[in-house]
Amino acid sequence: MSGYSNTYDPSRKIAVCLFLLILTSNMVFGKSCSPDSTNKKRLTKVLIAQGALYGGSLVGLESLWYSNYSRSSFHFFNDNQEWLQIDKAGHALTGYTLSQLSKDTYLWSGMTPKKASIMGSLAGFSYLTVIEILDGFSTNWGASIGDLAANFAGCGLFLSQELAWQEQKFQLKWSFHTTQYAEKNPSMFGNSLPVNMLKDYNGQTTWLSFHPMLNKENSFIPLWLNIAAGYSANGMLNAVENKAPWQDTDRYRQYLLSLDINWRKIPTNSKTLKFVFKTLSFIKIPFPAIEFSEKGIRTHGSYF
């Protein structure tokens, strides 16, 4: 049966998860931040803002997602075969993006780039682990080892590049387009755009964006112009297979090749534009694309 029992209090589990997140942050910062490199006042502001954003997003997820399903004791669940692994790509993307944005805030607090990168990756992974804890209390799902591995991969991709090159040569990005499947199965994918963006895996694409020249300093191609390789899937009306008679669409993977813009490489002296570009850095903007799938090769004049 969907919904809460009479004795269930969702705020208690969110509070426990937030406590674990804050405890992890305090342990990390207490051991890793040196007073000569970090502005304590700015760091306090960063931690307060981070806690508010993380806490608010968890409350939002509780209201938008978890509140519609019954609860159970904590357990694990193997979902590695579901949704043609589009959800796993999304987990890696989220871990990567949270690590990047967290690093930016820690740099503002005065941390060295290396420390900020490490702290950003740990903060991103800690937050996503909290979400797995929430999943672990849901009857319909459970904590997923595959999700945790994908979270770790995304955070690790960010951190390894920072430690090796002090820059992100390979960026993970996201795009979304509405599909016909949300109308066919609104109970699964929702009936509003915000819910569709979260639940309709048919419309989600994860991209690996990179500059085509390894030696970019001598490249005739602008530093802000990238190539992007994308992964998505289509025809999915349920997690593993389309079961009902009306769900007779074919499920298949899609591989895409397109152009992209590296927002962080666009030169500007405007602090406002720099902030906007950093905020948009995980979005793959529409460009022409070539799609490869079992259906053949298809071109798109503009793909998002």
Lowest mean pLDDT among 52-61, 157-166, 261-270, 295-304: 52-61
Segment 158-206, tens digit of pLDDT: 999 999 999 999 999 999 999 988 888 888 888 899 889 988 999 999 9
> What is the predicted pLDDT for the residue at 34?
47
| Per-residue pLDDT tens over the stretch 129-154 | 988 988 898 888 889 999 999 999 99
- Which pLDDT tens digit goes with each residue over 36-83? 467 888 888 888 888 888 778 877 777 767 777 788 899 999 999 999
The reported pTM is: 0.85
DSSP string for residues in the chain: --S--TT--HHHHHHHHHHHHHHHHHHHHHHH--TTT--HHHHHHHHHHHHHHHHHHHHHHHHHTGGGS-B-S--B---TTGGGGHHHHHHHHHHHHHHHHHHHHHHHTT--HHHHHHHHHHHHHHHHHHHHHHHHTBTT--B-HHHHHHHHHHHHHHHHHHHHHSS-SEEEEEEE---THHHH-HHHH-SSHHHHHHH-GGGEEEEEEE-S-SSGGG-SS-TTEEEEEEEEEE--SSSS---STT--PPPEEEEEEEEEE-GGGS----HHHHHHHHHTTTB---EEEEEEETTEEEEEEEE-
The pLDDT of residue 243 is above 80: no
Structure tokens at 11: 């705020």
Q: Where are the domains of the chain?
A: 9-167, 169-304
> Which pLDDT belongs to residue 299?
97
